[in-house]
Amino acid sequence: MKSSLSGPFLHILFLSSSAFGLTSVVSKTYIHIRSGTTWKNAQTICKTYYTDLATFYTESDLNQIKLYQYYVWIGLYRQRSEGNDWIWTNGNLADFSDEDYSRDCGTVGFDKKFYARPCGNLLFFICQKTTDAQDSPEYYFIPETKTWSQAQTYCQDNYDDLGNLDSYDENAYSVSQDFPVWIGLYKDGGSWNWSTSLSEYVNWNTESVFLVKENKTWDEALDHCRGLPSTRNLYFDLLSVQPGNEHDYVMNKVKAADTEEVWVGLRFLADEWMWVNGAEMLYADLPLCPIQGNHCGVISKKDTGSVKARNCSQKKNFLCYSYKS
């Protein structure tokens, strides 16, 4: 992976995959971590404590994300030397209190409320700058994670100071309304890839492939396969298949379908075709720029020895397979 992928983003998404007991299903859990770090370090943490940075193949995956409250440094701090009052860096007394004396520095949250945090936390921050032509300062959201004192130094060196929000100013809050989050997508050379270790190709036993004669969209088919009950490390997925013997074997299943085409685990994401289980893409005749919506793969009863791009919202039979983790 390229080291240039690292960057100071505040939020990280972790991906966890698990199965519990005989009546369970394969499940994914996305965990939102509100600490600033680089992409590379985020991936290391994910692989150490979870599975990997998050991978998304479907809209239902994205719907599982819950992004919670975040905070950015502002010019608010507790003055220990004089009665523990909270003041702004411009010297004004702040209408704010916090009884936890381990938290001496101020932040503003997405909800426009003030919060105290330990000054050594690494957060984004807001700087302000006033020119002779202005009556009120301009505010600048800085997407670099720093401690409170580092953030103040940065603002004083490059602007005027940390943002002093002692009077309500909608402009100050509007600069921090949209935070980026790391996911497991990275560019290596000329292509984009998912980082998840789950993407390693799992070769299937031909006895494990089965046709589902239900008409579903591609997303629904993927959810159906992955939602099948798992036992003893046996899991299920939408089928990924390679040309040659594998493709020829699958055709016996395809011809038994109630639809002329069946979904397989092929999806166009981040400007390239990929199998949902990370298998190498060996089919060479897929469109490099498929028309809008035609981002999902099928195999047709009118076999041409290849896979075709179709609109993901169409409803078709589909192929699942089982594998052992």
10 pLDDT above the threshold of 70: no
Q: Which domains does the chain have, with CATH numbers?
A: 1-67+179-199 (no CATH), 71-174 (no CATH), 201-325 (3.10.100.10)
- Express each pLDDT in 276-325 by its tens digit: 887 888 998 899 989 988 999 999 999 888 999 999 999 999 999 988 76
- Express each pLDDT in 190-231 by its tens digit: 666 666 544 445 567 767 899 999 999 999 999 999 888 877
264: which residues sit within 8 A by CB, 6+ positions away?
A: 238, 239, 240, 241, 250, 297, 298, 299, 307, 318, 319
Structure tokens at 210: 């089965």
Which is more confidently placed, 147 or 64?
147
Which is more confidently placed, 122 or 187?
122
Q: Which residue, among 44, 9, 59, 45, has the nearest Cα to 182 in the 3D structure? A: 9
pLDDT for position 23: 33
Average pLDDT over residues 263-271: 90
pLDDT for position 130: 85
- Express each pLDDT in 156-172 by its tens digit: 999 999 988 876 556 65
Average pLDDT over residues 31-38: 74
